[in-house]
Structures are given as structure tokens and as C-alpha cells.
Amino acid sequence: MRRRTVLAALLVSACAGSGDATGAPPVEPGPPLPGTSLVADSCAVARPDFGGPATAADRALFAYDAAAPLNLRRTVESTSNGVEVSAVSYDSPDGGSATGLLFDPVARSSLRPGIVLMHGLPGTARSVEAYGRALAEYGAVVVAIDAPFARRAGSPLGYGVQDRAEQIRLIKDLQRAVDLLRARPNVDPQRVAYVGFSYGGAMGALFVGVERRLRAAALVVGDGGLVSHMTGPEDAGFLAGLSCATRATWFRAMAPIEPIRFVPHATPTPLLLQSGRLDNLVPPADAEALHRAAPEPKTIRWYSAGHGLDVQALRDRHEWLTTQVGLDPLQ
């Protein structure tokens, strides 16, 4: 019964908040960004040339002071089935606070694996609360953070330079989430994994190219990033409705930090890439592009399912995490 209940919760919650992002109103661009000449000014809606794998300078955009104090704030919300759920916040390297949820299997006495969990777009850490709780019931200490767009009012995307700043902030905040887990006395610092869904899967492709301390990463229904997504067949019509100047500035800002440029640097982190052949938000061709860019060691799994995948995908991911970081096996 426990296995059936947990799997049902996972299926309902795993891709919650992973809808389309095209409802954001366009905004007029600010001045061009220095050092972002990768994409030429163009009125084309077609996907730009991303220019090959990220350089050392590109990866340096996400550097932060790891010695700075986290200043973790935690408020316990509930405890059930041996899992304590807390609202947390900590200092963001780019100012302000990162917010989210911490799931702690407090009834366990041995060192536990840690998992950083990332939601879709639109969405918040609450979108994956049931999944985070379930993973903690199977022995992991889990932190799910809110994307920067979830910490403010308004649409997730503005199609301006703010999107670039928030994507950079997110990757720094995710690195600090790893710091948070590794600082927990019940977490084995050598067994920290990442799991991201949809937008979280795409941002995970960037994250694994920057963060060297991950033992494993599952990128679920991810694509190459926001530019890849918005120039795909599912959203190109919306992008065509923006002004030429808005598109050109957004491409210049975002293409240099497109996750598909960073995922080649994931080695030696093992990757699990899960995609649906019936996905209408991440078409198979876009998923395949990410799969090709991802280096070994990688495991690719396809399912005859849509964006939310299916129970088999949940089982496969759980078994993979059990192998990689020691999550309790399904019973």
C-alpha cells in the first residue's frame, strides 16, 4: 500500500507547474548587454546558432562566494511518516533570499543522500511538495527551491534582460542549495543528486555543467533551454508576436547562457534523461537535441507518454537514484 500511495503522489505532482510560459506579456528591451555578441541582431524567429559548448568565461558567470554564510532560516510546518517539512530561506549570492522547502527524514539515524529538486515553469517549490515528501520517505534529505520568477509578482518570463539575470541567479541559488545539503549533519556530502522537471530539467542541463559536486542528475522532460523552447514549434507563433527589437535583445541576452551549451561539461556526473514521445510541450526533436549534447555517462529513457510521463518513468527514476545515491528501494 505504501508503494502504491507514494507512486500515485509522484505521478500527480512530478510535473506540476510545468505548463507553457507563453502568457507573459512582452516588454521592450533595455540597452544591449556587454559581452553578449554571440547572436547577431535579427528579426528572425528561427532558433539562433548557440555557438558551441560554453567557454570557461561563460561558466564563470555563475561563480559565487562559497565561503559566504548561508544564514539559513527554517520554520517547521509539519511532521508525518517520519518526514519533517520546513519552509526555508537562505541568502542568495545575488542579493535577497532564496526560498523553498526542506524535507528531512528525521526518523533515520544514518547518513542520508541529498537531493536538490527543481520545479517547472510556471511553478514553485510547492508544486513538487508531494514528490519531495515521497523522496524523503524513501530516505533522502530533499531541498526544493523557488525559481527567482516565483519570488516576485508577474509573469515568469518578460522577454527582456531580467530573464538573463534570473537564470544566472537560479544557478547560483542551486549551488547554494548543494551547500545547504552538504552542511546538514545527516547528509552524506558525497551522495547529492539533482532532479528537475520540464523547466527544471532544462535548467538542470546548465546546472550540471557548472556544479561539480553532484553525484548524479535526472533531467526529466527537459529541452535545450528557454530559447530552444520558445523557438520550437509549440511556441514560435507567440515569439513572432513580439517586436523585432524585443526578440533581438532577448536572443542576445539568453543564447550565451542556453543550457544546451553547458551540458557537455557535465562529465563525470551520471545523467538520466527521460522524455515522452507524445510530449506536446517538449517535442521529441528538442529532447533528442539535449540528449545528443549530453556527455557520457548518460542513460536515456523514452516513454509512450506526454509531458507528465507515466508510472514506469517514476519507477525507472527511483531505481536509478537508488543505484546512484542510495535512495531506499521501492517495496
Q: Which domain holds residue 245?
A: 2-17+53-325
Contact between 255 and 39 under an 8 Å Cβ cutoff? The reply is yes
Q: Across-strand partners of 274?
A: 220, 301
Residue 298 located in a structural domain:
yes
Q: What is the CATH number of the domain that holds 58?
A: 3.40.50.1820
Contact between 110 and 188 under an 8 Å Cβ cutoff? The reply is no
Q: What share of the chain is helix, strand, coil (3-state, %, to 5)?
A: 35, 20, 45
| Residue in the structure block whose three cell numbers are 546548465 | 206
Residue 137 located in a structural domain:
yes
All three cell numbers of 183, joined, read 552542511
Nearest residue to 121 via CA among 204, 26, 209, 210: 204
CA 197 to CA 203: how far, in whole Å? 9
Strand 97-104 with 73-80, pairing: unpaired
**What is the structure's pLDDT at 12?**
44
Residue 149 located in a structural domain:
yes
**What is the structure's pLDDT at 219?**
98
Query: How many CB atoms neighbour CB 33 within 10 A?
Result: 15
**What is the structure's pLDDT at 314?**
98
Residue 187 located in a structural domain:
yes
Counting DSSP H helices and E strands in the chain, the numbers are 10, 9
Query: How many CB atoms neighbour CB 311 within 10 A?
Result: 14
pTM for the whole structure: 0.90
List, for the chain, all residue ranges whose pLDDT scores fall below the cut of 70.
Answer: 1-42
Domain count, the chain: 1
**pLDDT digits 0-9 by tens, 112-146:** 999 999 999 999 999 999 999 999 999 999 999 99
All three cell numbers of 214, joined, read 553532484
The secondary element (H helix, E strand) that includes residue 276 is strand 271-276
**What is the structure's pLDDT at 25?**
33
**What is the structure's pLDDT at 11?**
54
**What is the structure's pLDDT at 42?**
55
Inter-CA distances, 42 with 117, 153, 241, 247, Å? 36, 30, 15, 8
Contact between 127 and 16 under an 8 Å Cβ cutoff? The reply is yes
Residue 25 located in a structural domain:
no
Nearest residue to 160 via CA among 151, 149, 150: 149
CA 7 to CA 318: how far, in whole Å? 10
Nearest residue to 204 via CA among 302, 298, 105: 298
Backbone dihedral angles phi then psi of residue 64, each to the nearest 5 degrees: -150, 170
Residue 38 located in a structural domain:
no
Residue 242 located in a structural domain:
yes
Residue 37 located in a structural domain:
no
